[in-house]
Structure formats: structure tokens, C-alpha cells
Homo-oligomer: A and B are copies of this chain.
Amino acid sequence: MARKQMVADQPLRLDNQICFAVYSAAHAFNRVYRPLLDGLGLTYPQYLVMLVLWEHDGVPLKDIGERLFLDSGTLTPLLKRLETARLIKRTRNTEDEREVLIALTAHGHALKEKARAVPMSILAASACSVGELTAMKNEIV
């Protein structure tokens, strides 16, 4: 292959694509989180929903979706599974029957205490300092 061709190929090389770096990092985090969250009976997206609710209980489905960039097609079944697990309750807003309000059950609220151990374990597993991770986060956001 001529040199000119190789140069033109550079942008298509996997290693040069930041999207792949981000994609891989997301999967890597998922692999680290999975065994920890198994102990809580949560998947990673379910954990994210619980984080939102632990900060702000009783919010509309729509708000959770905006916070996590997810739509009803993803959230409706996910929230039904959380309801089956007795972590949340779903009720229509009486002020506006279009909205579904998501509220923690006592069980869901209690799970927060168990979840406190998660960030520290992730930190240990990621073999990075807090400073390194914070710097990385700020680069991304």
C-alpha cells in the first residue's frame, strides 16, 4: 500500500477514534460495577435511576428521563422492574394525569445505606486516585 493511502486511512483507524475510547471506557465501568451492583440486586441503569431518586424523591418519569437522557421506551419497562422489586411505586399525578410520579418505597429508601459502599469500592477497583478520576471527569463533561 502506498504511503498516501496509509495517511488517508489514519482517520479510520480504531485507535485514533475518541468515540471508541469512550465506548470502551463505558463498557469497562460497566464490568466493574456489575459485581458490586449484583449485591444490591440492581443493574447499572437501575442504579442510576435510584441515584436520581435518592437525591430527589417523587419526581415525574419525564424528569428522570431528562436527567439520564433516557426516554419512556427505556424507562417504562425498567421502572416496572424496580416496582416489581418493591423499590419504587408508580402513581399517576392527580394534577396532570399524563404524568407518572416515581416514589421510593421504604425498602427503596433503605437501599441507599447499602449503596454508600459502592463509590468507594469503584475507586479501589479503578486503581486511580480521586484526583485523577476527578480530572478525567472534568475533561469529559
Contact = CB atoms under 8 A, between A and B. Distances in A.
Interface in A32-89: 33, 44, 48, 51-52, 54-55, 67, 69
A20 B133 CA distance: 12
Interface stretch (A90-98, A100-108, A114-122): A114-122
Q: Size band of the A side of the interface?
A: 35 or more
A11 B69 contact: no
Contacts of A55: 9, 12-14
Contacts of A116: 8, 11-12
Nearest to A29: B19
A54 B118 CA distance: 40
Contact of A115 (B12, B14, B52): B12
A21 B140 contact: yes
Nearest to A128: B18
Given A17-B119, A51-B17, A139-B135, A22 B12 contact: no
A139 B21 CA distance: 10
Interface of A: 8-9, 11-14, 17-29, 33, 44, 48, 51-52, 54-55, 67, 69, 112, 115-116, 118-120, 122, 133-137, 139-141
Given A12-B51, A14-B51, A22-B22, 6 more contacts: A12-B55, A20-B48, A21-B137, A23-B44, A26-B26, A27-B69
